[in-house]
Structure 1
Amino acid sequence: MEEEGVIKFQLHWQASDPALPETFRELELWRTRLRAIGGIGADPRRYGGIGFGNLSRRCAEGFWISGTQTGELQQLGREHYSLVERWDIAANTVWARGPVAPSSESMSHAALYDRRPDIHWVFHVHIPELWRRAAAQDLPRTPAGVEYGTPEMALAVQDLASNAPLPLVLCMTGHEDGILAAGQNANSCGEALLRAIARAPAS
């Protein structure tokens, strides 16, 4: 498995003003819930203590996403979100602005927004139990040899999302414990993820 939390795409980032409070209010509500169950955070026993998990929402200019290495923070403020304005999957390049650089998983989020205009929210968590039982739950799964943060992962995520009903929960097989959820609104996205997690121990 590759090291968690490393930005692998070429990033063009410009420091700018933080998001308005209403931009991240729902994101923060769901981040709190997902962090409480261990899907987002930083743990010295996991991935060498590197922070994990991120959330985003579509906007007119692109999408807002939690900043890189913010998993260890109990709560995020407006200064912890970055606006991804443009991306090029083939060139493995992201253009963003804000008070913090965007998450290392920005390309996977971008891939979903790019392919599906009806996706407005994407949650990326690390849930070992669900990841290990993805096949038993018949979750869509990216190929095992496709690593996180690469154009290949972004394209694999796009392929899985192309004709899937929403909300969608999928497993990033080549990204240890990585799970993506996508939906038209925050609650449908989050609740679908929680239902999948609840089923995992019995799978």
Structure 2
Amino acid sequence: MTEVEGVVKFQLHWRPGPAPGAAEIAELESWRRRFRALGVLGQEPGRYGGVGFGNLSRRSGAGFWITATQSGALRQLGPEGYSRVESWDLAANAVWATGPAQPSSEAMSHAAAYDRRPEAAWVFHVHAPELWRAATHLGLPATAADIAYGTPAMAEAVAAIVAPAALPCVLQMRGHEDGILAVGATAASTGSALLRAMAMAAAEIPAQPSRALRR
């Protein structure tokens, strides 16, 4: 694939602002460490042109906190490594954010999930090659192969999948190499659904996602 990773494609309206409290990001930090240890979030010279990959977010009031753009190389982010997306316009492909850093290039896909599912409070985006390749076999819902990340089309495709789905929902971003998105009501259920899907892919066990991935 020739897609360039890590590039913000939406219109970003960002201003410096306060960092989140430690309690607000505690679960994000915990899951980020876990995913980084598994190699599905981070930054490696031999993957995706050496840019960072993977991002996590949690709902916060009418907006959400999300890991900062190109922060994958950092072992631990801390409060200074987050951005608060305050509002968005899917049709206009625009995001308004504040905080100590600018938001991830996948912020629009996160916004789409929160926009369509008020009960969704966590979105985890990882790059899991094994799961991505097994997605069809496992029956994961998927966005179309011709839809690139960070675009209005991707946001709408994510929204269309998440809107009717049982939560937690794990989906493949077919046009975004190795991209997997998990959306849920709690950090534990969202992360566990993603880990379960990864384990199933590793074991090559056929399963129906509506029963095995979304309980």
How high is the TM-score relative to the length of structure 1? 0.99
Q: What amino acid maps onto 2:109 in structure 1?
A: S
Deviations 1:110-137 (A, max 9, x none): 0000000010000000000000110000
1:42 alignment partner AA: Q
Amino acid at match of 1:118: E
Aligned equivalent of 2:47: 46
Aligned partner letter, 1:136: H
| 1:21 aligned residue | 22
Q: Where in structure 1 do 4 or more consecutive aligned residues deviate above 3 Å? A: none
Give the Å deviation of 1:201: 2.3
Moved more, 62-71 or 16-25: 16-25
Query: Which residue is equivalent to 1:179?
Result: 180
Work out the CA distance in 2 between the residues paired with 1:157 and 1:41.
23
Aligned-partner Cα distance in 1 for 2:187–2:141? 20
1:125 and 2:142 correspond: no
Alignment of 1:16-165 (within 5 A): 16-165=17-166
Give the whole-Å Cα distance in 1 for the aligned partners of 2:62 and 2:165.
Answer: 25
SS, match of residue 143 in structure 2: coil
Residue type of the alignment partner of 1:116: R
Shift of 1:197: 0.2
- Who is 2:213 aligned against? none
Percent of pairs with identical residues: 61
Are 2:168 and 1:167 aligned? Answer: yes
Following superposition, the deviation at residue 61 of structure 1 comes to 3.6
* Partner Cα distance (1:36, 1:201) in 2: 16
Measured in 2, the distance between the counterparts of 1:173 and 1:164 equals: 18
- Stretches of structure 2 lacking an aligned partner (at least 5 in a row): 205-215
TM-score normalised by structure 2 residue count: 0.93
Distance in 1 between residues matched to 2:30 and 2:11, nearest whole Å: 30
* Inter-partner Cα distance in structure 1 for 2:62 and 2:198: 32
Q: CA deviation at 1:16?
A: 1.2
* Partner residue in 1 for 2:208: none
Q: CA deviation at 1:85?
A: 0.2
Take 2:57 and 2:84, find their aligned partners in 1: how far apart are those partners? 9
CA RMSD in angstroms comes to 0.7
User: For 1:109 and 1:116, how far apart are their aligned partners in 2?
Assistant: 11
Distance 1:44 1:132 in 2: 22
- Partner-residue secondary structure (3-state), 1:159: helix
- Give 3-state SS (helix, strand or coil) of 1:194's partner: helix
Number of corresponding residues: 203
Query: Separation in 1 of the partners of 2:202 and 2:42?
Result: 21
**What is the one-letter code of the residue matched to 2:40?**
G
Q: Partner letter of residue 143 of structure 1?
A: A
